[in-house]
Chains A and B, each alone.
Chain A
Amino acid sequence: MTEISELDRPVVGRGFRLQWEPAQEAHVLLYPEGMVKLNSSAAAIMSRCDGVRTIADIVADIERTYGVTGLAADVAAFVAMARERSWLEMKGE
């Protein structure tokens, strides 16, 4: 699997669906016969993965939204983990 660059454009993996689930009071990632409940950080990242924004855009947007800095490494680590699990794909991959 190739290295991830901050210019990659992640998108929710084929066969997965991200949605707000009132019963869980959380964003969840759905797949056949299963569901992952996302914490708020994971949801903030995943919900911005639209195949248009780059990882750098996503970092900037989250930092702006929550008034924090220095999230690049955390976002990169989450994206790498999520891609490993097929929750995310890189657009054009």
Chain B
Amino acid sequence: MELTYRCPLHCVFCYNPTEFAATGPELETEDWLRVLREARALGSVQLGLSGGEPLARDDLEVIVAEAHSLGFYINLITSGVGMTEARIAALKRAGLDHIQLSFQDSSREMNDFLSSTRTFELKAKVAALIKQYEYPMVLNVVLHRLNIDHVEEILELAQGIGAEYVELANTQYYGWAWLNREHLMPSREQLRRAEATLARFRARPGQKMKIFFVVPDYFETRPKACMNGLGSVFLTVTPDGTALPCHAARMLPGFTFPNVRTDPVRSIWYDSEAFNHFRGTGWMKEPCRTCPEKTRDFGGCRCQAYLLTGDAANADPVCDLSPHHHLVTDAVAAAEARGQAANEGLIFRDHRISIPVVVVGQERASK
């Protein structure tokens, strides 16, 4: 459940829709509790609470308590901004199972630059709280052109704050990250160096952190099995109640997405066109339709197919069997051609803009 689009950060790689400020009012507490009860009755067991920053909602503890009593496993995905000892104690009592803390980068300057606010020291404090309250310390860092050269520093920082699990997730290009794609795409050489650094770090004696590296799919030749196929296992509810088969699906044209204010979760899941359309393989076009791998990757990501080719039913162009694969390799080649990180033109996630206007160097000082 994406509880709110409100967020104190302004990350350039945020996957929230760029038009988030134009969406409707947030659901009330009672709406969220009803969604939980309906989803659990259908057999759902995993609950991710994200946003925006879910701590921006002061009913987070109420939502967690209800979810826990229903038997959900509850994972809070947070930047840590807004986390206090009082709140983590209340969340623990309410039955929160897991916390994933995001970090933008390891050096204070880079962290502040990339998230456009001063949050670094706060995150170190939150990391200490997470350990104090006996949660595993799980750190997520989104990688991109501007920080991928800092992988070693990031891992050392993670070790320094006692992280047990670190996910280094290369940027996926949706929402704000899509707007900033040319600035965020690493070069092949950067990627190679990062992987070599990671291998050296893993081999350090006494190194105990479990490190996951999510490869950027633009550099692959087969697409990710996105969501295990739309409508297969995943349902997300946005702050205004819109139910989507993936975080980014709001962009897909031609659908009227159901809303939990008016539609029961059961009918959303089983009856709505938005959840049924991309189920199975009947919607596929060539080359997916006759591809022996179609039940392995489900044609990749519908949103990526739409963003790059204009048709959500096309093969994800990450696949080198796609006639549109050049759109991906061209983007990678353009990243190769770019010189050292030039930050001019980066667009920061901001509620004041539906059409982005904040440009580095012009307005950054006002933040």
Measuring CB to CB, which residues of chain A are less than 8 angstroms from any residue of chain B? Answer: 13-15, 17, 19, 21, 23, 28, 30-35
CB <8 Å contact, B135 and A15: yes
Known: A17-B73, A30-B97. A35 touches B46 (CB 8 A): yes
B229 CB, min distance to chain A CBs, angstroms: 16
Does B216 count as interface, using CB distance less than 8 angstroms? no
Q: Are A35 and B45 in contact (CB under 8 A)?
A: yes
The contact of A33 among B71, B75, B134, by CB within 8 Å, is B75
Counting chain B CB atoms within 10 Å of each CB, the highest count among A13, A19, A32 belongs to: A32
Count residues on chain B whose CB falls below 8 Å from chain A CBs: 14
Chain B residues with CB under 8 A of A17? 73, 97
Output the least CB separation between B227 and chain A (Å): 11
For residue A33, which residue of chain B has the nearest CB? Answer: B46
Give residues 38-56 of B contacting A (CB, 8 Å). 43, 45-46, 48
Query: Is B45 a contact partner of A21 (Cβ separation < 8 A)?
Result: yes
A31 touches B43 (CB 8 A): no
| Closest chain A residue to B40, Cβ basis | A23
Output the least CB separation between A71 and chain B (Å): 29
The reply to whether the CB of B138 lies closer than 8 angstroms to some CB of chain A is: yes
- Interface readout for B31-72 with A: 1 if CB under 8 Å, 0 if not? 000000000000101101000000000000000000000010
Task: Name B's A-contacting residues (CB within 8 A).
Answer: 43, 45-46, 48, 71, 73, 75, 97-98, 100, 134-136, 138
Out of A13, A14, A30, name the residue touching B73 (CB < 8 Å).
Answer: A30
Inter-subunit contact B98/A32 (CB<8 Å): yes
Among A15, A21, A23, A28, the residue within 8 A (CB) of B98 is: A15
B338 to chain A, nearest CB (A): 34
* Nearest chain A CB to B78 CB, angstrom units: 13
Once the chains are docked, how many angstroms separate the CA of A30 from the CA of B48? 13
**24 pairs from A and B in contact (CB 8 Å cutoff):** A14-B134, A14-B136, A15-B97, A15-B98, A15-B135, A15-B138, A17-B73, A19-B71, A21-B45, A21-B71, A23-B43, A28-B45, A30-B45, A30-B73, A30-B97, A31-B98, A32-B46, A32-B73, A32-B100, A32-B138, A33-B46, A33-B75, A35-B45, A35-B46
Q: Indicate if the CB atoms of A32 and B45 lie closer than 8 Å.
A: no
Shortest CB distance B317–A (Å):
26
B residues in contact with A35, CB < 8 Å = 45-46, 73
Cβ B73 vs Cβ A31 within 8 A: yes
Nearest to B131 among chain A residues (CB) is: A14
B234 nearest CB neighbor, chain A only:
A33
- A34 / chain B contacts, CB cutoff of 8 Å: 46
CA–CA, A23 to B43, complex, Å?
6
CA distance in complex: A35, B73 (Å): 10
